[in-house]
Amino acid sequence: MAKKQSLFSAVLGTRPPISTRATATAVTKSESIPHPSSLHHHGRSSHPSMAEKLAAGRTLVLDVDDGLLLPSSSSPFPYFMLVALEAGGYLRGLVLLLLYPIIFCVGRDSDAAVRLMAMAAFSGLRAGPFLAGRAVLPKWLMEDVATEGFETMRMSGRRVCVARKLPRLMVEGFLREYLGAEAVVGKEMKVLWGFYTGLMEDQDKVVLEEEEKIMLEGNDAVGFSGSLQFLQHPLARCCKNVYLVTRDDRATWKALTRSRYPKALVFHDGRLAFRPTAGSTAMFMWLPFGVALGVARLAIALTVPYRYSTPILASTGMSWRLKEGERPPLLGADGEPGRPRGQLYVCNHRTLIDPVYISVALDRPVRAVSYSLSRFSDLLSPIGRTVRLARDRVVDAGIMGRLLDSGDLLVVSPEGTTCREPYLLRFSPLFAELSDDVVPVGLATEMGMFYATTAGGLKFLDSLYYMVNPRMCYTVQFLERVSTSAVKERKVPSTDMANLVQRKMGDALGYGCTMFNRKDKYLMLAGNDGKCSIAPAAVRS
């Protein structure tokens, strides 16, 4: 009874001592506290939980750390490590890793530990649009969202999210864009002379504004958390009801599945392909060896013929597989006996190395076209026959038409940019106007440590990042030939044909089809349209 009375007093405005054992209860200003045996457990799905009933149509003050995210993500260390590595570089990330023993000793999620991690991750970074919070962190935060916390948030009316540990700029973009939060309250990073100092301060102005809004709404808000510390927050004291989840209930929470994401997570940036916990940052020990291995792999790929280099590279962890073991015929349906016309292969775009593995699967050299490719990446290309396009429909059609007329096997990625997630971007319809038939090729990649693509980083290092991975695998899948002659005969619009090929490829790969394009990706991840200033090169024979 003493513990219940302590909770009741907390909502009324006095600060209770923090108990060492969380107690599940709905704390109400005007009603007696219900007995724990009458509370709903989130593991049951037959009836809506008490939190969902309380939050239905009302303002919800949600504790992000202990009411939305899974208990396994209670330590914010991985998020700060992502900021340190992606925004500050590997040296800053190494400094944060070396500080982990101190962080562990003071408590991994304590206020002192959070401030130390923020100092290491942010100190000296240039202030401005925080791209890591918009482009990198949402993927990892979304994977940590609990189904139970999401359902409670979905049932509410106005959503006010309280981040007690992570700074506001690390979570605000994710909470507003993907979960529909109307307001985000959290600590601010101090700025001096245009740079982050690494120090955090409370966001008092926003807290006061939200308090006023809650009072104007009739003081009918409900709070939701899994920690007694949430009761000390000013907004928690403005709530008519506060629902606290037991530690045992939180232990049964499940991650939100991709199919239930409120908004498809199609784009994200950053080089790391794994969650950088303190125990998984053996990456720093791997890097020196990985760089040497990557250089060796690259040398083999550039100098040794495919039939010999493929098994050698596979022994180093750089493998590929041909799904169903099928290779299509090399000539198109309109081939001529004297001078056969080339074949057009249409693939989804995973990395810059896509044409290389199509060439390996065909055991024939191919010509690849690209909208933007750095000179350095072109030099590192094992096929050595990349042609730049001009992003001009007439010019590009002429370039690819001449390549096909010369009998080349031409590989084109109509998405126009890479996509990491299991989605296909909108297919540009130009390819459907170039030939009487096309061969769709589905590509899938598996990388365990580094992504070989970037929107806001140094793109000329993409191929090297792929080579540095300990293990990686490409899957190549040739689909049935699709006749596009109806487009030339003006019976079918080229856009409809492009959508048809996209659907066939999506069905084969199990990927979702979207209407996003290159511009959408770069505006979201890098704040620009993604155009390259390099002029297209002439077609090389």
What integer pLDDT is reported at residue 276 of this predicted model?
92
Give 408's contacts (C-beta < 8 A, 6+ positions apart): 342, 366, 367
- Summarize pLDDT for 124-177 with one digit per residue, the tens: 999 888 888 889 999 999 999 999 999 988 888 888 899 989 999 999 999 999
Q: What is the DSSP letter of 43?
A: T
Alpha-carbon span 409 to 171, nearest angstrom: 47
Give 109's contacts (C-beta < 8 A, 6+ positions apart): 65, 74, 75, 76, 165
Distances (CA, A) of 381 to 375, 378, 411: 10, 5, 14
> Contact, 348 vs 443, CB < 8 A?
yes
> Contact, 388 vs 381, CB < 8 A?
no
Alpha-carbon span 420 to 466, nearest angstrom: 13
Pairing of strands 188-192, 195-201: antiparallel
Place of tokens 């918009």: 134
- Summarize pLDDT for 399-416 with one digit per residue, the tens: 888 888 888 889 999 998
Mean pLDDT across the chain, nearest whole number? Answer: 81
Parse the chain into domains and list their residue ranges: 38-260, 304-327+340-526
Give 158's contacts (C-beta < 8 A, 6+ positions apart): 58, 59, 60, 182, 217
- Summarize pLDDT for 466-484 with one digit per residue, the tens: 999 999 999 999 999 999 9
Alpha-carbon span 269 to 130, nearest angstrom: 13
What integer pLDDT is reported at residue 40 of this predicted model?
35
- For the domain 38-260, what is the CATH code? 3.40.50
- Summarize pLDDT for 404-451 with one digit per residue, the tens: 888 888 999 999 899 999 999 999 999 999 888 999 999 999 998 999
Greatest alpha-carbon span in the chain = 95
For 373-385, the three-class secondary structure string (H helix, E strand, C coil) is CCHHHHHHCCCCC
Q: In order along the chain (541 residues), what is the average pLDDT of each group of 10 residues?
A: 37 34 42 32 42 66 92 88 93 93 90 93 89 91 93 86 91 92 90 92 76 71 89 85 88 92 92 88 88 92 85 91 67 45 90 89 86 62 68 85 87 92 94 91 93 87 90 93 89 93 95 93 80 45 31
Nearest CA among 372, 304, 350, 297 for reference residue 477: 350
> Contact, 167 vs 151, CB < 8 A?
no
What integer pLDDT is reported at residue 292 of this predicted model?
94
Q: Under the phi-then-psi rule, with left for phi > 0, alpha for psi from -120 to 50, and beta for the rest, what region is 38?
A: alpha
- Summarize pLDDT for 95-116 with one digit per residue, the tens: 999 999 999 999 888 889 999 9
What integer pLDDT is reported at residue 374 of this predicted model?
59
Q: Alpha carbon 305 to chain centroid distance?
A: 36
Tell me the DSSP string of 460-494.
GGHHHHHHHSSSEEEEEEEPPPEE-HHHHTTSS-H
> Contact, 452 vs 466, CB < 8 A?
yes
- Is the model's pTM score more than 0.85? no
What integer pLDDT is reported at residue 65 of this predicted model?
92
Listed in order, strand segments (DSSP E) in 33-117 are 60-63
Q: What is the DSSP letter of 459?
A: G
At 132, list the tokens: 């890591």
What integer pLDDT is reported at residue 387 of this predicted model?
78
What integer pLDDT is reported at residue 315 of this predicted model?
92
What integer pLDDT is reported at residue 336 of this predicted model?
45
Give 512's contacts (C-beta < 8 A, 6+ positions apart): 264, 422, 423, 424, 506
Query: How big is the chain by its Cα radius of gyration, in Å?
Result: 27
Q: What is the DSSP letter of 107?
A: -
Three-state DSSP at 33 gives coil
Alpha-carbon span 340 to 330, nearest angstrom: 10
At 129, list the tokens: 């649009």
Alpha-carbon span 113 to 116, nearest angstrom: 5
